[in-house]
Chain A
Amino acid sequence: MTTALIAEDEPLLADELQSELARLWPDLRVVARAGTGEQAVEQALRLRPDLCFLDIRMPGASGLQAAQCLAEDWPDGAPFPLLVFVTAYDQYAVQAFDAQAVDYLVKPVQPARLERCLRRLRERLAARAATPPPEAALAQLRALLAAAEAPLQPLPPLRIVQAQQGALIHLVPIDEVIYFEAADKYVRVVTAQRELLVRTALRELVARLDPQAFWQVHRGIVVQARYIATALRDDSGKVRLTLRGRPETLVASRLYAQLFRGL
């Protein structure tokens, strides 16, 4: 039996979508409803539904961020769910995509449009490969995330990172940073010699970094490209990175693995 998850913070709209689904697809079982992006990720990873209807604007993580987490953390060997984004206003130009990999619905959802979406989902469920998420879906997701997270105005580039440690403030030139890693409410700033913590969101830092020099390789990791020594792709589509000047390795998620292709 086909299973679905509905992530929608407005209760009436979640009810309505669920009853419309029941009417148009009686065999479909809604196994979970989530009111935040975090809940959606947690329940989807646990229950592994075939379909995820994700409202884009939700409290906590957005539907796009939830999709990003799913694409990165989805277990190997389980078929990746088909994603349908639901939005009241299409500010990210979701419709620019051909809906081959990721579909979308605009609220209020028109029954005819929902029916067409469900027909497509049925066809694609039949043809769905076991794992991992198809590159077409990942490419769409990357484009959507880039559109959603682009700052409204260009921000001044970050040249010196200031990290406070007690009363002492460390100043780290941006060239020396090997990678940034999100850690709860902080970001770890890692150089060849030391690790420091700055209290900010990784997303805010990324907006001020040169995208040619700093590559996002995971939702929580941004690496300075010239410090990446080697990249090794595994079967699940993830890429393991070794670094110059640091002994540890980093993992680039499926979403960003296309950065490493060789020439």
Chain B
Amino acid sequence: MTTGFRLIPAGEGHALLRRLGLVLAVSLLVGALVWALGRGQASGWRALVAALVYSLSISVLTWAAIDPMRFMLRGLLRAQPPGYWPPPGRAALLCGLGIAAGYVLGTLAGDAWSGRSTLALLQTDQQRFLGVLALSLAVSFGWLTYFLERGRREALQRTARDARLSLLQSQLEPHMLFNTLANLRALIGADPRRAQQMLDHLIGFLRATLAASRNAEHALGEEFDRLRDYLALMQVRMGPRLQVQLDLSAELAAVAVPPLLLQPLVENAIRHGLEPKPQGGRVEVGARAEAGRLLLRVQDTGVGLTRQAAGTSGFGLVQVRERLAVRYGATARLALEAVPHPAGGTLATISLPLDAPAP
């Protein structure tokens, strides 16, 4: 390894400092609040400063024991990017220990500053001690839920953004794009009429690609129209080696689906199924409703699953699975299976709930 190990992974330092700033600001507010509520016992600026010192040291030490620690001990904690939150058991352990350590060390730091003894308070004024303890713990848990929730939301947004970006990237795959343009260039001279049609399909394809990176949904009928554009482009390129069949009933045409959800599956069918096969073959895309679920099917008569799985097709499938998870959670599925002889080839099926609430 030449890169070396970084205590804090690249790109995370900034967000870490931002969170520290937030912790500092809120802990000063909490300290002031504690002082304001406890004015009966002690007043004056010395008491205010003491309250601020307690609050600040407990907050910052608790934060330090949890937030930077999960990066520094990410190997031990199995904290993975993005987000770097450890799996639940380890996260609970980290937070529990972090809060305990932060409380004890922070209280000792406060005691050292003010010359008081919180431990002695346990004997003289149990009620006050418990009050301070409860307040500290409540603030810690408040922080914890806030950061956890925010981390979860950010991770989800990041996944959605990554999915859109990788969709855009795969759609504008340079081989596809430049081969298409090369065919278009050839047709302009040989058959201007067909060149125009091909250009129209390319325009539809590109427009849909850009729209898909912005919109969360479109109608299934629209999805099939875009597949038609793509397949028409591929038919110009592959000639008689590519046959196509699309089946969509009128009543399903209005169902909303994530845009270009089927596109990577159709692309895989062609790229890994039919393109490597000298005689080519057939792609069928179909949709049907069954028991409240929408079943989408992409089947090819290509070289089959083993070669396909060995290639880079994993990329497209991961992307489809991620997009399904972002949109439908655990209620949607993507399955890939080999089609038995004599037809051969691969069948990809997506199953998702028909009554999913709008995103």
Contact = CB atoms under 8 A, between A and B. Distances in A.
Contacts of A152: 312
A109 B189 CA distance: 14
Contacts of B8: none
State which size class the interface on A falls in.
20 to 34
Interface of B: 174-175, 177-179, 181-187, 189-190, 236-239, 241, 275-278, 280, 310, 312
Interface stretch (A5-13, A67-75, A224-232): A5-13
A60 B179 CA distance: 18
Interface of A: 9-13, 15-16, 35-36, 38, 57, 59-60, 88-89, 91, 106-109, 152, 204
Nearest to B311: A152
Contacts of B190: 12, 15-16
- Between B183, B278, B312, the greatest number of chain A beta carbons within 10 A of the residue's beta carbon is seen for B278
Chain A interface, >50% SS class: loop
B178 A106 contact: yes
A44 B316 CA distance: 37
A89 B178 contact: yes
B276 A12 contact: no
A59 B278 contact: yes
Contacts of A10: 179, 182-183, 237-239
The 6 closest A-B pairs by CB, nearest first: A16-B186, A89-B174, A108-B182, A88-B178, A107-B182, A88-B179
Given A12-B236, A106-B178, A35 B185 contact: no
B182 to A, nearest CB: 4
B278 A107 contact: no
A155 B320 CA distance: 25
- Between A12, A16, A36, A108, the greatest number of chain B beta carbons within 10 A of the residue's beta carbon is seen for A12
- Between B177, B182, B190, B312, the greatest number of chain A beta carbons within 10 A of the residue's beta carbon is seen for B182
Given A59-B276, A89-B174, A89-B175, A13 B310 contact: no
A106 to B, nearest CB: 7
Nearest to B183: A12
Contacts, number: 64
Contacts of B276: 59-60
A211 B206 CA distance: 44
A36 B236 CA distance: 18
A13 B186 contact: yes
B178 A107 contact: yes
B310 A204 contact: yes
B178 A15 contact: no
A13 B182 contact: yes
A12 B186 contact: yes
Nearest to B307: A201
A113 to B, nearest CB: 13
B100 to A, nearest CB: 42
Contacts of A88: 174-175, 177-179, 182
- Between B177, B183, B280, B312, the greatest number of chain A beta carbons within 10 A of the residue's beta carbon is seen for B183
B178 A59 contact: no
A60 B190 CA distance: 28
Given A36-B278, A88-B174, A108 B181 contact: yes
Contacts of B278: 35-36, 38, 59-60
Contacts of A15: 186, 190
A68 B201 CA distance: 37
A55 to B, nearest CB: 10
A35 to B, nearest CB: 7
Contacts of B185: 16, 108
29 contacts: A9-B238, A10-B179, A10-B183, A10-B239, A11-B239, A12-B183, A12-B186, A12-B236, A12-B237, A13-B179, A13-B183, A15-B186, A16-B185, A16-B189, A35-B278, A36-B278, A57-B175, A57-B275, A59-B277, A59-B280, A60-B278, A88-B174, A88-B177, A89-B178, A106-B178, A107-B182, A108-B178, A108-B182, A109-B182
Contacts of A11: 239
A38 B276 CA distance: 12
Given A59-B277, A59-B278, A60-B276, A12 B178 contact: no
A89 B189 CA distance: 23
Given A59-B277, A108-B178, A108-B184, 7 more contacts: A12-B236, A16-B182, A16-B186, A38-B278, A57-B275, A59-B275, A108-B182
